[in-house]
Amino acid sequence: MRIIMLGAPGAGKGTQAKMIASEYQIPHISTGDIFRSNIKNGTELGKKAKEYMDQGLLVPDSLTCDLVVDRIAQDDAKNGYVLDGFPRTIPQAEALTEALKARGEAIDYAIDIEVPDENIVTRMSGRRACLGCGATYHIKYNPPKAENVCDACGKELVLRDDDKPETVQKRLDVYHEQTQPLISYYTEAGVLKELDGTQDIDVIFGQIKELLK
């Protein structure tokens, strides 16, 4: 069961990816985790990636794909995996398709969690983070007992720069330009499944389990 999670930032694909990984006992693989692991372990691929990251540059598609393929070749992924955050672009998707083909494999499902932009802006701009202990809240869905005060440690809650409406909209614009073309790519490959991401988390997960049967 080889799965790719698609969807805009804040659509909830990471949450669903973790739930799938737990339910089916397959690894949840994110490119961020792969980069950190390889850099920490001082692998050759990790050293190459670090050179780019230290300069504030994006890691090239070919190197990112090599890192992902190296990760999915490990023992714990032999029964499948959930890819979260990769591929982000058509060239990355094509590189992954070719690399999997060389292994006699292919992606089984590309699950797209669809959420309108305005919902995502509301969802993310409502987040609040504690400067003291790192706890997170949402002014609508998970508010603190006292306004802008952390329940756990009493420190002030802030709206992170990443979650400001204008920043969220910029990230969404990049997503629509670079990542949304993947919807067509995986539709043509016959593996795309689209779900309404405005529903309750457990309802979405129930639908995912149905389509994975």
What are 120-163's pLDDT values in tens digits? Answer: 999 899 999 998 998 999 998 899 999 999 999 999 999 998 88
* Exposed e or buried b per residue across 27-43, where buried means at least 16 C-beta atoms within 10 angstroms of its C-beta: bbbbbeebbeebbeeee
The pLDDT of residue 212: 94
Indicate if 128 belongs to the active site.
no
Reply yes or no on whether the pLDDT at 56 is more than 90. no
The single residue of 160, 170, 209, 213 carrying the catalytic annotation is 160
CB atoms within 10 A of CB 192: 19
The single residue of 71, 88, 123, 128 carrying the catalytic annotation is 88
Indicate if 127 belongs to the active site.
yes
Q: Span 18-31, mean pLDDT?
A: 95
Q: Residue 29 and residue 112: Cα distance in Å, rounded?
A: 16
The domain locations on the chain are 2-116+174-211
- Token pair, residue 80, equals 């499948």
Q: Span 94-99, mean pLDDT?
A: 94
- Cis, bond preceding 87 (omega within 30 deg of 0): yes
Q: Span 93-109, mean pLDDT?
A: 94
CA proximity to 112, closest of 23, 25, 13: 13
Q: Is 133 helix (H, G, I), strand (E, B) or coil?
A: coil
Please say whether the dihedral angle defined by the alpha carbons of residues 198, 91, 35 and 164, taken in this order, is positive or negative: negative
Write down the CATH number for the domain with range 2-116+174-211: 3.40.50.300
pLDDT confidence band for 55 (50 / 70 / 90): confident
Contact predicate 163/176, CB 8 Å: no
The single residue of 48, 164, 171, 193 carrying the catalytic annotation is 171
CB atoms within 10 A of CB 213: 4
The single residue of 2, 71, 127, 128 carrying the catalytic annotation is 127
Reply yes or no on whether the pLDDT at 52 is more than 90. no
The pLDDT of residue 67: 92
Q: Span 50-68, mean pLDDT?
A: 87
Give percent above pLDDT 70 in the chain. Answer: 100
Q: Span 38-60, mean pLDDT?
A: 89
Q: Please report which helix (H) or strand (E) contains residue 194, including its range.
A: strand 192-196
The single residue of 13, 71, 123, 128 carrying the catalytic annotation is 13
The pLDDT of residue 148: 93
Indicate if 160 belongs to the active site.
yes
Indicate if 88 belongs to the active site.
yes
Give percent above pLDDT 90 in the chain. Answer: 75
- Token pair, residue 13, equals 């694909």
Q: Which residues contact 125 (CB under 8 A, 6 or more apart)?
A: 159, 163, 164, 165, 168
Q: Is 103 helix (H, G, I), strand (E, B) or coil?
A: coil
Q: Which residues pair with 84 in a beta bridge?
A: 5, 30
The pLDDT of residue 40: 92
pLDDT confidence band for 196 (50 / 70 / 90): very high
Residue type, 83: L
Neighbour-count burial of 7, counting CB atoms closer than 10 A to its CB (0-12 exposed, 13-18 middle, 19+ buried) = buried
Phi, psi dihedrals of residue 130, rounded to the nearest 5°: -85, 130
pLDDT tens digits, one per residue of 70-91: 999 999 999 999 999 899 899 9
